[in-house]
Structure 1
Amino acid sequence: MEDKHFLLVCDDVPHDVVLTEPGVRVLDVAQVVRRLTGLSVWRSKILAAQVPAVILDGVPQEDAEAAVAALLNAGAQAEVRERPRPGSLKP
Structure 2
Amino acid sequence: MADEYFLLVCDDVSHDVVLTDAGVDVLDVVQIVRRLTGLSLWRSKALATQTPVVVLAAVSEEDATAAVSAFRDAGARAEARERPGP
Aligned partner of residue 4 in structure 1, secondary structure: coil
User: Is 2:69 the partner of 1:69?
Assistant: yes
Q: 1:42 Cα deviation (Å)?
A: 1.1
Query: Which position in structure 2 is the counterpart of 1:53?
Result: 53
TM-score, with structure 1 as normaliser: 0.89
Name the amino acid aligned to 2:67.
Answer: A
Fraction of identical pairs, as percent: 69
Query: Which position in structure 2 is the counterpart of 1:6?
Result: 6
Alpha-carbon RMSD: 0.9
- Structure 1 residue runs of 4 or more that deviate by more than 3 Å after TM superposition: none
Q: Distance in 2 between matches of 1:66 and 1:80?
A: 10
User: Is 2:46 the partner of 1:31?
Assistant: no
Query: Which position in structure 2 is the counterpart of 1:78?
Result: 78
Q: 1:41 Cα deviation (Å)?
A: 1.1
Q: Distance in 1 between matches of 2:53 and 2:65?
A: 16
**Structure 2 gap ranges (5+):** none
Q: 1:83 Cα deviation (Å)?
A: 0.4
**Structure 1 gap ranges (5+):** 87-91
Name the amino acid aligned to 2:61.
Answer: Q
Size of the aligned set, in residue pairs, is: 86
